[in-house]
Amino acid sequence: MSSRSLLVASFALAITAVLGIATPLAAQTPQPAITTPAKIDALALRTALDRAVHKAGDAGFSGVVLVAERGKILFEAAIGQADRNRNLANTLDTRFNLASTGKLFTTVAILQLVERGKLALDAPLGRYLPDWPQPQVREATVRQLLTHTSGLGSYFGLPEFANGREQLRSVADHLPMIATQVPVFAPGSDWAYSNAGFMLLGRLVEIASGEDYYDYIRRHVFAPAGMRDSGYYDVEGKAAGVAVGYLASSGFEDNTSQREWRGGPAGGGYATARDLLKFQQALARHKLLRAEATKQLLTPIALPGEGGRRNHGLGPIVMPVGNDIAYAHPGGGPGMAAQFWATRDRETVVVVLGNTAGPPGPGQGSPTMALSFAIFEAVAAAGGPRLGGAMRPRT
């Protein structure tokens, strides 16, 4: 398995309970109890995270951190270098590679097109790609592609990807190497993380909308959310403020020869931490999806192969946390690491973006992961939700 595949696989997670505090009933007129969560102690949070970020910087973390609640930023910081060759520091305006966290944009695009009647979640892929060469893949539904239950796997480890990476500049360019894949299980019978499935979803976006995938995301996701510092930049691109991904916490070896040329439906777009907060706000305010589709996106579902655990949704990880719902999508690869977490009702948001990556595997092996654990603890200690429960190392 490639280092990129191992890194992506390491970002498995669960989210634990968020506690609410019930307000007392009015003394004179009986009323229904209203659950009001306690506010995060912003001063305690800033004190703890100042220490955590500086400690992480000393350990090799390079990137940005943002914590917010109900749209108000409680803490943000940037540390390390965006470009070591030019001695440029990371700032709050630096754009980082999101890796698989970018799958969130593809998920929203699919649900937008379902809202418009252009796609159907339970329609087979063959309805939209009737000439797809693998019969079993044609039987997989849009819903199964979203929930990683189609039986398809990745494409990063394929020789066609390694040898032809520079020619993979559009969704269509990726399809020939995916077309040879046969599902490893019958669609709907099990779960396996699938970058190939999300690339096919990107093709469905193009077919259903009549637009190029990148144009669609720019016009229908980034624009309505106000995400002006997000986009897809190729290896030769000259976009300002883009962090270079480095393969170690020191030295000058970057990930140019390993990352996707441009990124796309399976991830690899760029954004600032503040833009990811804007994404959460747009989702919460129904600027991207209407209320019913948003509810569908953020409803936990049980998937095959998980023993009935309800820790997934239509694309992102979605879990009940007390009386609230948490949703998240991690991402990682050589020289890139991203963590995005949010709660539906309380609207607590945690973003960690890095341009270095440590050794692959679970646990606190990378500076980004170690900092993420420290942030989870600090948010909980300050009165916020306790996030990242299943990511914690076993003792």
pLDDT of residue 253: 85
Q: CA-CA distance, 32 to 341, in Å (whole number)?
A: 30
- Write the burial class of residue 394 (CB in 10 Å: 0-12 exposed, 13-18 middle, 19+ buried): exposed
pLDDT of residue 237: 58
pLDDT of residue 393: 39
pLDDT of residue 110: 98
pLDDT of residue 162: 62
Nearest by Cα to 192 from 149, 134, 238, 163: 149
**pLDDT averages per 10-residue partition of the chain, 395 residues:** 38 29 32 55 97 94 96 97 95 95 97 98 98 95 96 79 71 89 93 94 98 97 97 74 87 77 87 98 98 96 73 89 88 90 96 77 65 92 81 39
pLDDT of residue 168: 75
CA distances from 365 to 7, 203, 368, 390, 391 (A): 10, 35, 9, 15, 12
Nearest by Cα to 114 from 292, 327, 310, 301: 292
Nearest by Cα to 76 from 95, 57, 53: 53
Residue 64: phi and psi, rounded to 5, are -135, 155
pLDDT of residue 141: 98
Q: Using alpha carbons only, how large is the chain's radius of gyration in Å?
A: 21
Q: Which CATH class, in words, describes the domain spanning 3-391?
A: alpha beta
Q: Which helix (H) or strand (E) holds 350?
A: strand 348-354
pLDDT of residue 4: 42
- The pairs formed by 279-285 with CB atoms below 8 angstroms and a separation of 24 or more are 279/104, 279/221, 279/225, 279/227, 280/342, 280/347, 280/349, 281/71, 281/225, 282/224, 282/225, 282/226, 283/108, 283/225, 284/344, 284/347
Residue 199: phi and psi, rounded to 5, are -65, -40
Q: CA-CA distance, 268 to 97, in Å (whole number)?
A: 6
Q: CA-CA distance, 354 to 280, in Å (whole number)?
A: 19
**pTM score, whole prediction:** 0.87
pLDDT of residue 27: 34
Domain residue spans in the chain?
A: 3-391
